Amino acid sequence: MALLNGPSVPINGERLLQRITELAEIGKIEGTNGCSRLAFSDADREGRDLVVTWMRDLGLTVTIDAVGNVIASTHVEGASGAVMAGSHIDTVGTGGRYDGNLGVLAGLEVIEAAIAMGVELKRPLAIAFFSNEEGSRYPPDMMGSLAYAGGMSVEAVLEVEGKDGTVVGEELERIGYRGTAPCPGVVPHAFVELHIEQGPVLDNEDIQIGIVEGVQGISWTELVLVGQSNHAGTTPMSLRKDPMRVAAEVVTAVRSIATEMGGTQVATVGSLHLHPNLVNVVPASATMTVDLRNTDEALLQQAEEELHNCVAVFAKDEGLKVETRSLARFEPVEFDSRVVEQIEELAQQTGLSTKRMPSGAGHDAQMMARICPTGMIFVPSLDGISHNPAEHTDERDLIAGTQLLSDTMLALTEVDW
Ligand code: HGY
Ligand code: MN
Ligand code: MN
């Protein structure tokens, strides 16, 4: 594809930073810069309402689909197939203010600057925030964009039950975001997501822009280890069926799988709940989650197999029953080289330092890549910290990333695939 320069429209950095600050006040974690807006919570609704108000104030056409995805777009007479930016505004429980929010507010800024300049484009521009990207209250992650791309039915989304016993469909209804727009959604001409890296690479190497080539595969498994609740004082060790013992062995094994495989393999036990969780009771059950990721599908399957084999051995030795449930499973994704090159070319023309890299984190872009040419832009995360209220990205990087998103989106309005 001939690399193109679209019209260049300067974004308003102050307005962008102001909106990031304002949105971060919703669900603010006191004493930190972080926020907590779990999917479909009251805080999520408040954040949604604020961003939708900004979208409507711009005169954009705003649609809400059956799983709560919100798409706002401009109109170009006789043209279809918008160039879309997007990300998410839900956060993990101990989230930062940039994860997801930057991509949504940057896309909004790109559109506002283009409207203010009165620039004539061949294609509409759109900005989306997708429901429940984090997946930490209702698995899987990237739930909204997965449904938008046709990877999960609306019915299946609406019946997902959360860890807190609530159900997606009812929560969507309650917060007023169970929309009527069709899902799967309208296929855009192209999709670009600006996101913080959430890892240490760009910061360590003092590079301004990550040119994201793809997203690694993700495997989330829930294990329920069922033993026998018993008295901590009277039960001989030889007679115990102790799920906590096996959970501890699984945690150690998960770490060894990643360290022994090396490469891009990572493994995390992020949650562990004991029942009844009392000091003088041998637990009845342990419920834990295992997050495995790798850029290579075959190696990810190997890690999964090793996990399941060791759980079976440990559980048998302790006489436990094991219930296994897959919470999310996505293969690695490669982005469209034409979009990747377009981003890289524009970044380098602007004099920004760049590095090609995979994404360790999951993103809505990995779902949109199923339906249209897609790419991602990373900006550095200070010390690689994310999913943590201390998450930080320098203002200059936020603004440079947003300007690059603008240049990329406008260039892609000129391209015919
Ligand atoms: O899990 C992830 O990588 C993303 O933050 N949802
Ligand atoms: Mn994110
Ligand atoms: Mn995240």
- Evaluate whether 13 touches 77 at the Cβ level (below 8 Å): no
Q: What is the mean pLDDT of residues 234-259?
A: 98
**Quick one: DSSP state of residue 274?**
E
Which domains are assigned to the chain?
13-216+333-412 (3.40.630.10), 218-330 (3.30.70.360)
The pLDDT tens digits of the residues spanning 250-280 come to: 999 999 999 999 999 999 999 999 999 999 9
Please tell me the distance between residue 308's alpha carbon and the centre of ligand 3 in angstroms: 26
Q: What is the mean pLDDT of residues 362-375?
A: 98
Q: What confidence score (pLDDT) does residue 354 get?
A: 98
Ligand 1 contact, 141 CB (< 6 A) = yes
**Quick one: DSSP state of residue 262?**
-
* Alpha helix (H) residue ranges in 25-100: 42-57
Sorting pLDDT into bands at 50, 70 and 90, what band is 2?
Answer: very low
Say how many C-beta atoms besides its own lie within 10 A of residue 183's C-beta. 22
Pairing verdict, β 281-282 and 230-231: antiparallel
Torsion, Cα 57 60 61 62, to 10 degrees, reads -60
Q: Which residue has the tokens 């170009």?
A: 76
The pLDDT tens digits of the residues spanning 282-330 come to: 999 999 999 999 999 999 999 999 999 999 999 999 999 999 999 999 9
Kindly state the tokens that stand for 286: 């342990």
Q: What is the mean pLDDT of residues 236-262?
A: 98
Please tell me the distance between residue 371's alpha carbon and the centre of ligand 2 in angstroms: 20
The pLDDT tens digits of the residues spanning 96-119 come to: 999 999 999 999 999 999 999 999
Ligand 1 contact, 407 CB (< 6 A) = no
- Evaluate whether 319 touches 227 at the Cβ level (below 8 Å): yes
Kindly state the tokens that stand for 155: 């019915």
Tell me the best of 88, 98, 133, 292 to mutate to test the pocket of ligand 1, counting ligand atoms within 8 Å of each CB and taking the most. Answer: 133
247-271 burial, b for 16+ CB within 10 Å, e for fewer?
Answer: bebbbebbeebbeebeebbebebee
Q: What confidence score (pLDDT) does residue 163 get?
A: 86
Protein residue with least CA distance to atom 6, ligand 1: 134
Please tell me the distance between residue 234's alpha carbon and the centre of ligand 3 in angstroms: 45
Ligand 1 contact, 304 CB (< 6 A) = no
Protein residue with least CA distance to atom 4, ligand 1: 362
Tell me the best of 141, 290, 333 to mutate to test the pocket of ligand 1, counting ligand atoms within 8 Å of each CB and taking the most. Answer: 141
- Evaluate whether 131 touches 86 at the Cβ level (below 8 Å): no
For the entire predicted model, the pTM comes to 0.95
Kind and range of the H or E run holding 237: none
- Evaluate whether 58 touches 51 at the Cβ level (below 8 Å): no
What is the rounded radius of gyration, in angstroms, for the C-alpha atoms of the chain?
22
Look at residue 4 and tell me whether its pLDDT is greater than 60: no
